[in-house]
C-alpha cells in the first residue's frame, strides 16, 4: 500500500520460511528518474532512456511553509530543521516547488503491477532462442514503466544466484491520472510475427489498448517508445476502471475481447479487430451493486467470470448480442455439505482461473460479526474459495461422443456427467500443445472425485481419451486389447502425450486408494492390470526414447568435434555407460531395433566417450555398486541408493536433488527442452536433435516441473 514494488523468490537455497528479495523495482525507477531529473530539464520526455548504473542518494525537497524535508528513495519524509542556517535557508538542499514535489511523488508511487506472458525471440549474436517477459508497473501519475526479465540461462537448486536484474526498456505516459489496472495478451493474428497486447485502465474511466512487436521489444533501443497506442475505449462513463481482462476467442484470432469492470459495478464487453484496427462495444450492463474487483475470461473467450465487493461471484456466457448469467454450483456430494462461504464473507476481492479451467478460486474477506470473537476473529481474516465449474455448460459445445450408461452414479445426474466429460476432454486436448505448461492439478482432482462418485463413467471417459490420444481412433484401445498392440502405437506418439498418459495412469487410474461407489467392486483387478500395464509400457517407451536421445547426443557431439564445430553451448550427456548396461539387460526383443542400431555405434566409440564410466561406488561404505536397475541401486553392504531418472547414474547424497511430486523420482542432471518437445521417437536421426536448447527442470517421465524437497516446517507442494 506504500507504492513500493519489489521482486521476491522462494527460499529454495536458504531453507527458511521468508521469501528472498531479488530486486527493488521502485529503487531502480528512482535511479532512472533522478538521472533525468524527473524529466524537468529542458522539457525532456519521460520516454527517453539514458544508460545508468550508479546508485542514488536521497533527493531533497521542500514542503510548503518553508519547512525543509528530505525525501529518500522510498518516498519517506523526515524533518531536518537542524540543518537550516541562521537566516532560515538550507545551503545543502535544492529547493523545489510544491507542484514539483507532488509530481515526483506521483511518479514514484506505484499502484498496479502485471506480468506479461513469457515470449521468445532470436538472439542476433548467438542465434539462440531467448525467452523473456515484461513487468508493467503503473503509477499515480499515469506513467507505465516496462521492465524486461530474461528467463534464467540455467536452473539450479545449489546455493547461488542465477536471477538477472530487471532492465528498464521504457517509460510511457499512458494516462493523465492514476493507472488502476493492467492486462496482457499475446496476439498472433495469423502471422509469423507475434505481438504483445496491453490494456490499461485509469481512474478517470478511460481504457486504452497498446501493441508492441516482440522482436522490437527485445531490441528496444534508447529513446524508443516500446508500445504504440492502437485503440481507445470511447465512452461517456466516468466511473473509474477497477478490473480488466483480455481474451482472443478461438473462433476468430483477429478479434480481441476486452472486458471492463468499473467501480460502479457495471461491466462492458468491447471487441477490437486487429485487421481493421476498429473497436466496437458488444454489450454493457449493470452486473454488480459495488466495485467489480475481479474479471477473468475462460474457455477460449466463451465464458467470463466476475466478482465484486457486493460479495458475489458470477459467470456470464455469450448469447447473441449480450451476455447471460448462469448459476455456478459444485456437483460433488461431499462439497454440497461444506459451508457456504458466501454466508460468512462480506466482500470478494479477486478471482483467478485454475490452469485446467475446471475451477475458479475466489478471495473472500470474512464478516467479523459472524466469527467467534475469542478465537476466529484473531486468526481468520480471509479465505480462498474453490468453485468447480466443469460440471455445467460454460460456453464449450457439448461433446456428443461421450457414452453415458444408466446408473453410473447415484450422486451425479447424466447431464452433470456429460458436461464434466466434455469439459475435461476439451482441457486435456489443450495440454497436447507443448507450448502450454503441463500443470493439470485441477483436472486430476476432478477425476479423482469422479473415481469416488462415478467409477464406471470414469473408466469409459478415460478409455475414450486414451483411444484418441494413441491413434485418433476411439475404437482401437479397450481393456481387451493386447498390450503389445498399444506398445506398437507409442513410438508414433509425441512425448507430451506420453507424459499426459503417465500422469492419468499414475494419479487417477492406478491409485493406492480403493475404488468407491456403486459397481466399483466388479472388475477391479482386471481394470487395474490394464492401467498398470499401460503405465509400464508408456514409461518403457519414454525410457527408450531417453536412452536414444542421449546416444544420439553423443554421436552428434562427436561429429561436431570431427568437423571442428564448437560444442560450447551444447548439452553434455552423462550416464552413457549406465544406459548401455540397461540396453544390454533388455536386449532380447525388449527394446526397439533402432535403439539397438544406435547402441552399436556407441559401443564402437567405447571409452573414448567423455565421461564414459560404469564404475560406481557407495558413498557410505565405498563398496562397488553394480547396475541392476535404472531407478535404484544396492551396494554390497546393502545400502539403498537412488539413481537419477534422467541419466541413471547414482544420485549425490550431499548435494540437493530435484524431486518429482508425481512419480516420486529424483533427478540431478536436467534434460534439454528439445527432449520434451519431441513429436515422435527420433532415435534413428541424431541430425534432427537440438542440443543447444536450454536445460529445463522437468521430469522426464511426467513432464511436470521438478522441485526441491523442502523440510516439513516449510510450505511445500504436496502431490495431488
Q: What secondary structure letter does DSSP report for 483?
A: H
Reading phi first (left if > 0) and then psi (alpha if -120 to 50, else beta), residue 678 is in beta
**C-alpha to C-alpha distance for 13 and 158, rounded to whole angstroms:** 6
What's the CA angle centered on 708, arms 704 and 712, to 5 degrees? 120
**C-alpha to C-alpha distance for 674 and 234, rounded to whole angstroms:** 46
**C-alpha to C-alpha distance for 639 and 648, rounded to whole angstroms:** 17
Pair 52, 31: CB distance under 8 Å: yes
HEC per residue, 636-701: CCCCEEEECCCCCCECCCCCCCEECCCCCCEECCCEEHHHHCCCCCCCCCHHHCCCCCCEECECCC
Nearest CA-CA partner of 300 in 394, 411, 194, 195: 394
pLDDT in tens, 100-122: 899 999 999 999 999 999 888 77
Nearest CA-CA partner of 210 in 136, 139, 262: 136
Where do the DSSP E strands lie in 72-151?
A: 77-79, 110-115, 119-122, 129-139, 143-150
Nearest CA-CA partner of 709 in 718, 720, 696: 718
**C-alpha to C-alpha distance for 615 and 598, rounded to whole angstroms:** 23
**C-alpha to C-alpha distance for 381 and 90, rounded to whole angstroms:** 48
**C-alpha to C-alpha distance for 308 and 287, rounded to whole angstroms:** 9
SS3 of 432, please?
Answer: coil
Nearest CA-CA partner of 442 in 426, 432, 427: 427
Nearest CA-CA partner of 659 in 671, 648, 668: 668
Pair 557, 535: CB distance under 8 Å: no
Nearest CA-CA partner of 196 in 130, 123, 133, 265: 133
Please give the span between the terminal C-alpha atoms of the chain, in angstroms, as a whole number: 35
Helix (H), strand (E) at residue 262: strand 255-262
Task: Determine the pLDDT at residue 650.
Answer: 94
SS3 content of the chain, % helix, strand, coil (to 5): 30, 25, 45
What's the CA angle centered on 463, arms 458 and 469, to 5 degrees? 125
Task: Determine the pLDDT at residue 42.
Answer: 54
**C-alpha to C-alpha distance for 147 and 133, rounded to whole angstroms:** 8
SS3 of 80, please?
Answer: coil
Residue 449, classified by CB atoms within 10 Å of its CB into exposed (0-12), middle (13-18) or buried (19+), is: buried
Pair 395, 303: CB distance under 8 Å: yes
**C-alpha to C-alpha distance for 663 and 506, rounded to whole angstroms:** 8
Helices in 292-388 by DSSP H: which ranges? 333-336, 341-344, 376-379
**C-alpha to C-alpha distance for 465 and 429, rounded to whole angstroms:** 9
**C-alpha to C-alpha distance for 398 and 289, rounded to whole angstroms:** 33
Pair 239, 277: CB distance under 8 Å: no
Pair 491, 683: CB distance under 8 Å: no
What residues of the chain score a pLDDT lower than 50? 43-86, 475, 512-522, 719-720
122 Cβ contact partners less than 8 Å away, ≥ 6 residues apart: 128, 129, 130
Helices in 337-437 by DSSP H: which ranges? 341-344, 376-379, 414-430
Amino acid at each position: 500500500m506504500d507504492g513500493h514494488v519489489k521482486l521476491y523468490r522462494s527460499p529454495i537455497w536458504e531453507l527458511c520460511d521468508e521469501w528472498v528479495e531479488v530486486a527493488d523495482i521502485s529503487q531502480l525507477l528512482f535511479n532512472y528518474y533522478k538521472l533525468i531529473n524527473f524529466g524537468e530539464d529542458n522539457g525532456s520526455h519521460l520516454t527517453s532512456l539514458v544508460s545508468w548504473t550508479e546508485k542514488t542518494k536521497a533527493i531533497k525537497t521542500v514542503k510548503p511553509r518553508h519547512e525543509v524535508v528530505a525525501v529518500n528513495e522510498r518516498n519517506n519524509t523526515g524533518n531536518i530543521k537542524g540543518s537550516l542556517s541562521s537566516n532560515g535557508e538550507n545551503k545543502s538542499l535544492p529547493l523545489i516547488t510544491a507542484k514539483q514535489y507532488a509530481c515526483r511523488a506521483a511518479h514514484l508511487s506505484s499502484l498496479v503491477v502485471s506480468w506479461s506472458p513469457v515470449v521468445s525471440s532470436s538472439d542476433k549474436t548467438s542465434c539462440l532462442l531467448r525467452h523473456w517477459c515484461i513487468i508493467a508497473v503503473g503509477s499515480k501519475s499515469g506513467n507505465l514503466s516496462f521492465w524486461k526479465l530474461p528467463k534464467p540461462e540455467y536452473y539450479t537448486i545449489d546455493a547461488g544466484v542465477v536471477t538477472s536484474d530487471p532492465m528498464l526498456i521504457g517509460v510511457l505516459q499512458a494516462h493523465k491520472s492514476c493507472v488502476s489496472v493492467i492486462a496482457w495478451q499475446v496476439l498472433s493474428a495469423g502471422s509469423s510475427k507475434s505481438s504483445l497486447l496491453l490494456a490499461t485502465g485509469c481512474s478517470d474511466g478511460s481504457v486504452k489498448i497498446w501493441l508492441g512487436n516482440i522482436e522490437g521489444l527485445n531490441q528496444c533501443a534508447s529513446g524508443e517508445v516500446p508500445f504504440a497506442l492502437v485503440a481507445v475505449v470511447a465512452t461517456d462513463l466516468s466511473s473509474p476502471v477497477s478490473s480488466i481482462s483480455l481474451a482472443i476467442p478461438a473462433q476468430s484470432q483477429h478479434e480481441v475481447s476486452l472486458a471492463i469492470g468499473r467501480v460502479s459495478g457495471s461491466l462492458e464487453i468491447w471487441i477490437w479487430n486487429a485487421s481493421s484496427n476498429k473497436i466496437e462495444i458488444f454489450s454493457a450492463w449493470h452486473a454488480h451493486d459495488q466495485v467489480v474487483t475481479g474479471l477473468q475470461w475462460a474457455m477460449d473467450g466463451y465464458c467470463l467470470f466476475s466478482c465484486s465487493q457486493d460479495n458475489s461471484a458470477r459467470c456470464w456466457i455469450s448469447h447473441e448480442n449480450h451476455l447471460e448469467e448462469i448459476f455456478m454450483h459444485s456437483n460433488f456430494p461431499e462439497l454440497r455439505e461444506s459451508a457456504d462461504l458466501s454466508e460468512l464473507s462480506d466482500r470478494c476481492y479477486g478471482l483467478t482461473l485454475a490452469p485446467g479451467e475446471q475451477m475458479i478460486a475466489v478471495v473472500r474477506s470474512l464478516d467479523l460479526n459472524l466469527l467467534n470473537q475469542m478465537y476466529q476473529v484473531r486468526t481468520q481474516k480471509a479465505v480462498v474459495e474453490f468453485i468447480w465449474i466443469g460440471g455445467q455448460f460454460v460456453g464449450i459445445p457439448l461433446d456428443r461422443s461421450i457414452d453415458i450408461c444408466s446408473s453410473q452414479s447415484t450422486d451425479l445426474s447424466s447431464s452433470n456427467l456429460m458436461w464434466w466429460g466434455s469439459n475435461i476432454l476439451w482441457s486435456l486436448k489443450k495440454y497436447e500443445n507443448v507450448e502450454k505448461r503441463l500443470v493439470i492439478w485441477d483436472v486430476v482432482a476432478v477425476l479423482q472425485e469422479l473415481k469416488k462418485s462415478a467409477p464406471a463413467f470414469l473408466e469409459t471417459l478415460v478409455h475414450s481419451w486414451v483411444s484418441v490420444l494413441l491413434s485418433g481412433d476411439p475404437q482401437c484401445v479397450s481393456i481387451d486389447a493386447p498390450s503389445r498392440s498399444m506398445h506398437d502405437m507409442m513410438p508414433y506418439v509425441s512425448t507430451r502425450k506420453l507424459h499426459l498418459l503417465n500422469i492419468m495412469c499414475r494419479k487417477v487410474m492406478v491409485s493406492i486408494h480403493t475404488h468407491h461407489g456403486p459397481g466399483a467392486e466388479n472388475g477391479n483387478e482386471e481394470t487395474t492390470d490394464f492401467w498398470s500395464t499401460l503405465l509400464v509400457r508408456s514409461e518403457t517407451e519414454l525410457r527408450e526414447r531417453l536412452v536414444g536421445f542421449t546416444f544420439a547426443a553423443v554421436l552428434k557431439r562427436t561429429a561436431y568435434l570431427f568437423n571442428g564445430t564448437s560444442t560450447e553451448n551444447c548439452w553434455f550427456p552423462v550416464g552413457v555407460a549406465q544406459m548401455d548396461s540397461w540396453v544390454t539387460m533388455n536386449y532380447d526383443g525388449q527394446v526397439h531395433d533402432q535403439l539397438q542400431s544406435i547402441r552399436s555405434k556407441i559401443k564402437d566409440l567405447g571409452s573414448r566417450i567423455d565421461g564414459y564410466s560404469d564404475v560406481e561406488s557407495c558413498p557410505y561404505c565405498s563398496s562397488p555398486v553394480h547396475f541392476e536397475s535404472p531407478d535404484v541401486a544396492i551396494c554390497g553392504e546393502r545400502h539403498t541408493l537412488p539413481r537419477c531418472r534422467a541419466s541413471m547414474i547414482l544420485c549425490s547424497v550431499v548435494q540437493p536433488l530435484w524431486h518429482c511430486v508425481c512419480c516420486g523420482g529424483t533427478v540431478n542432471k536436467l534434460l534439454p527442452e528439445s527432449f520434451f518437445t519431441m513429436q515422435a521417437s527420433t532415435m534413428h536421426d541424431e541430425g534432427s536433435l537440438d542440443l543447444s536448447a536450454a536445460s529445463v527442470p522437468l521430469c522426464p517421465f511426467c513432464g511436470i516441473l521438478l522441485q526441491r524437497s523442502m523440510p516439513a516446517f516449510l510450505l511445500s507442494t504436496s502431490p495431488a
